[in-house]
Structure 1
Amino acid sequence: MLWRSNYTSDSGKTFYYVSLYAGSDWLPEIYQALATKGKGFCDLPASINPRYALITTEDGNTAKIEYPFAPGTAEWFLFWQQIEGNPLIITSKGIGETVKRGTQ
């Protein structure tokens, strides 16, 4: 499912109304509060691959959640706290933002 939110890159640049993919029924409350269901009005530049969480639930399903919160922010800490506090999620892993070489 597509969600839209403002995305703050690791370098601190904010992109507005970006489309993010979150294929999960186990989205943290902070995500649902700060993102809106539906396609955004723009995409991130092709040079940026957004950060995301990979989760596995107790029934063996896996999901990818692209998230807009920059590492170290209050929202980022709460996002991970809510994922780790969900008893239905048995594993989680964060994959950081990547920027193609030679771009900003």
Structure 2
Amino acid sequence: MWRATYVTDTGKLYPYISLEVSDFFLPIIFTANAIRGAGFCTLPRNIQPRQAILWDTEGGEHKIEYPFRPASAEWIEFWREIRTNPLIISSKGIGEIRVIK
């Protein structure tokens, strides 16, 4: 578990949000912007955080919930680090999901 300030797609900030992270590979930009340990707050129930889903060279699947707003410098660096890692053979992102109730 890691915690960070989550920036929604609309730019709203939520500090100290818990993020579920597989420790298989963590981009440097992620560890520079997050702290190991559970957060103190949660996102509203209608927001599900963005995820990077990674597959390693042995076919294992790993997930990283990440706090960076799409197209931000951090988001670009996060995906650059993933795509240049030789241990990751495939990756995909799931965007922030807003649940309408």
Classify the TM-score, shorter chain.
over 0.9
What SS does structure 2 have at the residue aligned with 1:42? coil
- Tell me how large the CA RMSD over aligned residues is: 0.8
Amino acid corresponding to residue 41 of structure 1 in structure 2: F
How far is the alpha carbon of 1:101 from its aligned partner? Answer: 1.7
Residue 29 (structure 1) aligns with: 28
Aligned residue pairs total 101
**TM-score between the two structures when normalised by the length of structure 2:** 0.97
User: Percent of aligned pairs with the same residue?
Assistant: 49
**C-alpha offsets along residues 22-45 of structure 1, whole Å, 9 cap, x if unaligned?**
113211110011100000011111
Rounded to whole Å, the distance in 1 between the matches of 2:24 and 2:62 is 9
Q: Which amino acid aligns with 1:20?
A: L
- Range 24-33 or range 47-56, more displaced: 24-33
Q: Which blocks of at least 5 consecutive residues in structure 2 are unaligned?
A: none
List alignment gaps of at least 5 residues for structure 1. Answer: none
1:1-104 pair list within 5 angstroms: 2-101=1-100
Residue 53 of structure 1 aligns to a residue in which SS?
A: strand
Q: TM-score, normalization: structure 1?
A: 0.94
